[in-house]
Amino acid sequence: MSAEDGRRPSDAPSHQIEELERVTIRFAGDSGDGMQLAGLQFTNTSALYGNDVSTIPDFPAEIRAPAGSIPGVSSFQVSFSSHDIHTPGDQPDVLVVMNPAALKAHLGDLPKGGLLIVNTDEFTKPNLRKALYAENPLEDDSLVAYRVVKVPVGSMNARALADSGLNTMQIDRSKNSFALGLMFWLYERPLDSTIRWFEEKFARNPEVRDANITTLKAGYNFGDTAELFPVRYHVAKADLPPGRYRNITGNAATALGFVTASKLADLPLFYGSYPITPATDILHELSRFKNFGVKTFQAEDEIAAIGSAIGASFGGFLGLTGTSGPGLALKSEALGLAVMVELPLVVAMIQRAGPSTGMPTKTDQADLLQVLFGRNGESPVAVVAPATPSECFTYAIEAFRLALRHMTPTVFLSDGYLGTGSEPWRVPAADELPRIEVKFAKDADAFNPYDRDPETLARPWATPGTPGLEHRIGGLEKADVTGNVSYDPDNHEKMTRFRAEKIARIANDIPDLEVVGGESGDLLVLGWGSTYGANLSAVIRARKEGLAVSCAQLRYLNPFPSNVGDVIARFDQVLIPELNLGQLAMLVRSRYLVDAVSLNKVTGRPFLIAEIEEKIHELVGSKVKV
């Protein structure tokens, strides 16, 4: 083994420390190689150390694609930095590959000169064949553009665990820990958090626990003694706002937000859901929160999931369902029912690439129009969309606040990138969170099921068990005030307009769209949801170059904040980057009659900062102010 770092002078002192602002590492291997685990541990350790972090996992939809095949490659990218970062990085600086398939799948993303750490043990003839390599890339000159470090991870790990008492297969499963240890050494990370994690995770399996700890340390020590790397890297602590932090994925934050909403509203939460990628984590998380009175219901199908949630809402509880695109399609009719009966229901919708089954583990924003319009009849719902993993917490609470105050189904619109990505979350103090006010109808004398609050147009919430308020609701059109079935033409028009106006008035209850950068200028980058990180990073760079570019991220998609039209009018051009073929752009163009420019991407992957930057340059690049 030798360090093939062309830059290393032979007499250099080993282990200089080089200071870096930001490093992006991608761990890639077979889906059985434990890359997600290695990535997560590296992330947690870096976060604990005080870096800002941002992550993106990428894994196949198959539980076990054929071992060693390209479709079976699983990866985890973590970016960590000494300053505030908003994306998991466009390209990795370091690529760790555990087999030829991982090299084949990911090498294209590694910039020339990037550090490539290769587990040489897996570069056997059969594995090379599975990865469609005619020649061993480690033995020809195909990798000369990279700083290649060859490490026999598998055999080093096996040697470290020779006395562990585990069999060959069990030993091989620990090799990710060896690689992780090596990366910890390279970036000066402490091992203690990961050791603690092994101790908890494998408490009942001491042999496996000890093996992982042993090989983790072996990997670390190997880095120290093998002189593979001339330099170690140091990424200083980030200057984050003071507070207590933890690293959190979007889906975990979503689940925490919902259970928090339940506490803030002082109403038990019901979650009806059918397992579907990438929303299932929310079901897993919420099912752990039983001591908060949360009742989770794994329904027989998507329709039962939303139906049961509507039943809970009808009963006066927090009715919640969660799904992804195909599931929302199945829920459409029931969501329309919730519109008609005007109950406070929340639908957590975690988008993935479609249509149909599409690419379940890949991200997308192509369900915006489905969420807004994918039902029969005029059936408006409120829609909120978090922009970062940790914001999922805030907007899960906000979804319930709006649903309860305005008596409307509300969609919490996230996506796979937000849901599975992670970042540090500044943990709030529970007692500082504003309570959610809930009003139930009680007074039988003054009760009509479809009376409306003069301000919000919300109807009263009268729940079974309340004496004197017995009434019937349903999917047939309701007569104004009484809620009786009505086929009266004028009534239908009136009720249709009430339902629309009720949603429109939510604009009075939400904050204005915030502009980052100048309040006016040559270009506004207008986005929604998970494009935030890339948009913001690109705009920051453009502004450093002197371009009059700003960005704004819509967190409310129905209704829009009331100042959107004014904001748009203050810029010469509007660019709308979306992971679809222009759905927000269609809405903005029709609503505000502005010639917005779309930037579209539907690869199942989030935008790179560079892609947004390039478009900014194309539109206003000539306008650099000197």
Partner 1 sequence: MTTEAAPEGPLALQRKDFVTDQEVRWCPGCGDYSILAQTQKLMPELDVPRENIVFISGIGCSSRLPYYMNTYGFHSIHGRAPTIATGLKVMNPDLKVFVITGDGDGLSIGGNHLLHVMRRNVDITIVLFNNRIYGLTKGQYSPTSEFGKRTKSSPMGTVDTPLHPLSVAISAEASFVARSLDIDPKHLIATIERAARHKGTSFIEVYQNCNVFNDGAFMEFADKAVRSDRTVRLEHGQPLIFGKEREKGIRLNGTTPEIVTLGNGVSESDLWIHDETREDPVLSFILSRMHWPDFPEPMGVVRAVERPTYEALVQQQVDEAIERQGEGDLDKLFMEGDTWTVE
Among 24, 31, 44, 323, contact with partner 1 (rule: CB under 8 A): 44
User: Tell me, what DSSP letter sits at residue 440?
Assistant: -
472 is an interface residue for partner 1 by CB under 8 A:
yes
Find the binding residues for partner 1 in span 179-198 (CB under 8 A): 193, 196
Q: Which two tokens stand for residue 391?
A: 């914001």
293 is an interface residue for partner 1 by CB under 8 A:
yes
Q: In this structure, are strands 73-81 and 22-30 parallel, antiparallel, or unpaired? A: antiparallel
475 is an interface residue for partner 1 by CB under 8 A:
yes
Among 75, 77, 214, 247, contact with partner 1 (rule: CB under 8 A): 247
CA distance 246 to 428: 11
Question: What is the three-state SS of 523-588?
Answer: EEEEEEHHHHHHHHHHHHHHHHCCCCEEEEEECEEECCCCCHHHHHHCEEEEEEEECCCCHHHHHH
Find the binding residues for partner 1 in span 99-138 (CB under 8 A): none
The closest of 173, 171, 149 to 160, measured between CA atoms, is 171
CA distance 306 to 319: 8
Find the binding residues for partner 1 in span 561-620 (CB under 8 A): none
467 is an interface residue for partner 1 by CB under 8 A:
yes
The closest of 569, 560, 549, 531 to 622, measured between CA atoms, is 549
CA distance 396 to 386: 8
Q: What is the dihedral of CA 98, 99, 104, 110, to 10 degrees?
A: 20
Find the binding residues for partner 1 in span 295-314 (CB under 8 A): 295, 297, 299-301, 303-314
284 is an interface residue for partner 1 by CB under 8 A:
no
Window contacting partner 1 (CB under 8 A); options: 93-101, 141-149, 274-282, 470-478: 470-478
152 is an interface residue for partner 1 by CB under 8 A:
no
Window contacting partner 1 (CB under 8 A); options: 22-30, 451-459, 463-471, 552-560: 463-471
Nearest CB to partner 1, comparing residues 485 and 624: 485
CA distances from 595 to 227, 496, 588, 599, 616 (A): 58, 30, 9, 13, 16
Among 240, 330, 504, 540, contact with partner 1 (rule: CB under 8 A): 240
Query: Is the bond into 344 cis (omega within 30 degrees of 0)?
Result: no
Nearest CB to partner 1, comparing residues 70 and 427: 427
Find the binding residues for partner 1 in span 312-331 (CB under 8 A): 312-317, 319
Window contacting partner 1 (CB under 8 A); options: 111-119, 244-252, 570-578, 604-612: 244-252
Q: Which residues pair with 415 in a beta bridge?
A: 351
Number of residues counted as binding partner 1 (CB under 8 A) = 72
372 is an interface residue for partner 1 by CB under 8 A:
no
Binding track, positions 195-234, relative to partner 1; x by CB under 8 A: -x--------------------------------------
484 is an interface residue for partner 1 by CB under 8 A:
yes
407 is an interface residue for partner 1 by CB under 8 A:
no
CA distance 603 to 119: 29
User: Tell me, what DSSP letter sits at residue 596?
Assistant: P
202: burial class by Cβ within 10 Å (0-12, 13-18, 19+)?
A: middle
Among 195, 231, 329, 427, contact with partner 1 (rule: CB under 8 A): 427
Among 17, 485, 581, 624, contact with partner 1 (rule: CB under 8 A): 485
CA distance 350 to 169: 36
Nearest CB to partner 1, comparing residues 314 and 556: 314
Nearest CB to partner 1, comparing residues 20 and 240: 240
Q: Is the dihedral of CA 612, 617, 620, 625 positive or negative?
A: positive
HSE toward the beta carbon, residue 116, CA cutoff 13 A: 27
28 is an interface residue for partner 1 by CB under 8 A:
no
Binding track, positions 331-360, relative to partner 1; x by CB under 8 A: --xx--x---x-------------------
Cβ of 335: how many Cβ atoms within 10 Å?
A: 22
Among 1, 17, 476, 481, contact with partner 1 (rule: CB under 8 A): 476
Q: Which residues pair with 524 in a beta bridge?
A: 550, 574
Find the binding residues for partner 1 in span 429-448 (CB under 8 A): 429-430
449 is an interface residue for partner 1 by CB under 8 A:
no
User: Tell me, what DSSP letter sits at residue 353?
Assistant: B
Window contacting partner 1 (CB under 8 A); options: 31-39, 180-188, 265-273, 583-591: 265-273
